[in-house]
């Protein structure tokens, strides 16, 4: 990537005696600056500045800023004995970097940025929602992709699903090939539920695929499931529940996402983010996942680090500041269950007085067939930042985003992503791989076809 000439400032912020937050601000030289600031985000628990994202923003004319969130590496040992560093990761570092960047831009260019935007996915999506909830004046517009904002419960979801697909001594009960088998079967069962057979599960909430349909009828093989494997897969689909009360602790993973379960659910030798329990909550480096009590310990871990999540539904201050928020999620996300993201949006709608009121400042775009932040069989490349600029600067609210899918470097499918709750439905004529052949319409009740289709 070729970037224009820019001024680079590297700084370290110490808002507490135990904080050491690395920050970089890049400002385009001369007329290359568009007068605006773009805040960039992080992934996982990574302590690394997103230089590629900063460079991409720079090529669009933005002054850009990034942070390492106050530590190095992606493991959670950084929080052992350092509670302020946990706060830095959770929310403080992004706020501090934003305040610093605005002052640096003012001092270097003689004025504050005309507009400030933030864009992030995954942990970056959590950072985005945290900014809107906690610091509503930091940014004029925010993009939150596949947000891991319900962080404590998400980690509990990792624990639940890992336990479901491993034996008590930590051996996986599913061979890796099973994941692809499950995804293919789920898509085959639910592809046409939207009236169009196009290789995508439009909305997995309407998918009724039952993994028991793959039960081995004869000799065990990788092309079928044992009864124990069926039970394990159903637990992942169903999500974490209190065994005594039946209360849902965290949603399960969507049908159609199975092929991506390896990284966070099947492959790790221990539950993903086990350091959360060892260093953030139970404070025991030898803590054993077998000891977790699903009736007693959920409330305990919630109480230990309540600030770790960004789940407030009250966005009145952000709205009052004329802030604009675009959120998206992949319906086939294998890392953050899309249902949790949908639930957050629907809860905000209730808190803010209904859909009409909410959509004046907050729009949500589910992406059929997209994995975590990108990838998957569905069109998953789209320009949310340009849509946010038009909304913030010209009051043109996005009704849809046009997404594309590419193979071998060439675009082979485009599709509109519709502002929830509307969905894209085939008009009945034209190429099923062209966005112009679809319209955003109100959904029909889940489980029924919506509009004309082609089998």
Active site residues: 122, 333, 372
- Measured between alpha carbons, how far is 247 from 2 in angstroms, rounded to an integer? 52
- Measured between alpha carbons, how far is 366 from 330 in angstroms, rounded to an integer? 6
**For helices 93-109 and 123-134, what crossing angle results, to 10°?**
80
- Measured between alpha carbons, how far is 28 from 5 in angstroms, rounded to an integer? 6
- Measured between alpha carbons, how far is 368 from 379 in angstroms, rounded to an integer? 8
Distances 34 to 58, 64, 71, 324 between C-alpha atoms, Å: 10, 11, 31, 19
- Measured between alpha carbons, how far is 299 from 295 in angstroms, rounded to an integer? 8
- Measured between alpha carbons, how far is 337 from 250 in angstroms, rounded to an integer? 9
- Measured between alpha carbons, how far is 389 from 387 in angstroms, rounded to an integer? 5
Distances 99 to 136, 201, 373, 430 between C-alpha atoms, Å: 13, 42, 27, 50
Q: Which of 123, 121, 143 is nearest to 132 (CA)?
A: 143
């Amino acid at each position: 990537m070729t970037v224009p000439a820019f001024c680079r400032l590297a700084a370290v912020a110490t808002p507490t005696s135990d904080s050491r937050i690395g920050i970089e601000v890049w400002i385009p030289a001369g007329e290359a600056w568009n007068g605006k600031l773009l805040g960039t985000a992080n992934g996982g628990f990574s302590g690394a500045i997103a230089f590629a994202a900063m460079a991409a923003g720079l090529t669009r004319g933005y002054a850009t800023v990034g942070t390492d969130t106050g530590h190095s590496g992606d493991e959670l040992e950084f929080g052992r004995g350092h509670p302020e560093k946990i706060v830095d990761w959770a929310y403080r570092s992004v706020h501090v970097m934003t305040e610093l960047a605005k002052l640096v831009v003012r001092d270097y260019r003689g004025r504050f940025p005309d507009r400030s935007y933030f864009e992030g996915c995954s942990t970056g999506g959590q950072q985005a929602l945290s900014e809107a909830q906690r610091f509503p004046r930091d940014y004029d517009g925010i993009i939150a992709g596949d947000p891991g904002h319900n962080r404590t419960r998400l980690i509990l979801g990792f624990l639940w699903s890992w336990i479901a697909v491993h034996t008590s001594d930590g051996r996986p009960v599913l061979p890796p090939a099973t994941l692809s088998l499950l995804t293919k079967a789920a898509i085959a069962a639910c592809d046409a539920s939207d009236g169009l057979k196009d290789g995508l599960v439009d909305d997995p909430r309407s998918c009724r695929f039952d993994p028991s349909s793959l039960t081995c009828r004869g000799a065990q093989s990788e092309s079928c499931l044992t009864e124990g494997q069926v039970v394990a897969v159903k637990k992942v689909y169903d999500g974490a529940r209190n065994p005594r009360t039946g209360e849902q602790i965290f949603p399960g993973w969507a049908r159609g996402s199975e092929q991506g379960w390896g990284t966070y659910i099947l492959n790790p030798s221990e539950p993903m983010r086990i350091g959360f329990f060892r260093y953030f909550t139970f404070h025991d480096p030898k803590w054993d996942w077998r000891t977790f009590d699903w009736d007693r310990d959920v409330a305990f871990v919630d109480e230990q680090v309540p600030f770790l999540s960004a789940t407030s539904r009250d966005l009145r201050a952000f709205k009052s500041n004329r802030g604009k928020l675009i959120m998206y999620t992949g319906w086939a996300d294998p890392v953050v269950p899309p249902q949790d993201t949908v639930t957050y949006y629907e809860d905000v709608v209730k808190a803010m007085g209904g859909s009409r009121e909410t959509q004046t400042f907050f729009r949500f775009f589910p992406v059929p067939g997209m994995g975590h932040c990108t990838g998957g069989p569905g069109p998953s490349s789209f320009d949310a930042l340009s849509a946010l600029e038009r909304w913030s600067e010209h009051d043109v609210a996005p009704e849809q985003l046009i997404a594309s899918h590419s193979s071998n470097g060439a675009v082979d499918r485009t599709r509109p992503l519709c502002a929830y709750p509307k969905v894209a439905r085939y008009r009945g004529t034209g190429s099923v791989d062209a966005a112009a052949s679809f319209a955003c319409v109100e959904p029909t009740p889940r489980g029924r076809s919506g509009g004309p289709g082609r089998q």
